[in-house]
Structure 1
Amino acid sequence: MRLGAKKRPFYRIIVIDSERPRESKAKEIIGYYDPLKEPPEIKVDIEKANYWLERGAQASKTVQSLLHKVSKSEKLSNQHSKT
């Protein structure tokens, strides 16, 4: 779901019923993406995302890409914290 002002996008990563309009009320907000920060800020609750994906939710290609980036960065931060 796009938020923000003109030319200043901010996105919420949401769970929504596929039969509802895109801008309708979300079942749950599981994260956000701010592309204007340097580096872009992505915050996703991985546990909630996995919960919904296990129950048949389908992530868009964009959300799949963001989830991949988040899981990759979490693996790197876990490796650095162990050493």
Structure 2
Amino acid sequence: MPIRDCLRTWPPCWVDLATSDPAAGRSFYGEMFGWTAEVDSRPEAGGYAQFFHDGHAVAGIGPIGSDTPPLLDAPCVKASK
């Protein structure tokens, strides 16, 4: 993933995913994009992890809260390997 100035070129510059299965998400996106995940071990982080590519943080993933109401979010994102 190229390092870009997001304000100048307007590509996506950070993605955060809340999911019911963060471990599966880390595995899926790690394999798809060649990212490595580092889980924040602090209890207050709640299992949140950051993905890294070439030493740069590129995205985040964490568990969706059990008290979170059902969400409908339909962004237009296309990814391919």
Q: What range describes the TM-score normalised by the shorter chain of this pair?
A: under 0.3
Q: Structure 1 length as normaliser, TM-score?
A: 0.23
| TM-score, structure 2 normalization | 0.23
Q: When you count helix as a share of all residues, which structure comes out higher? A: 1
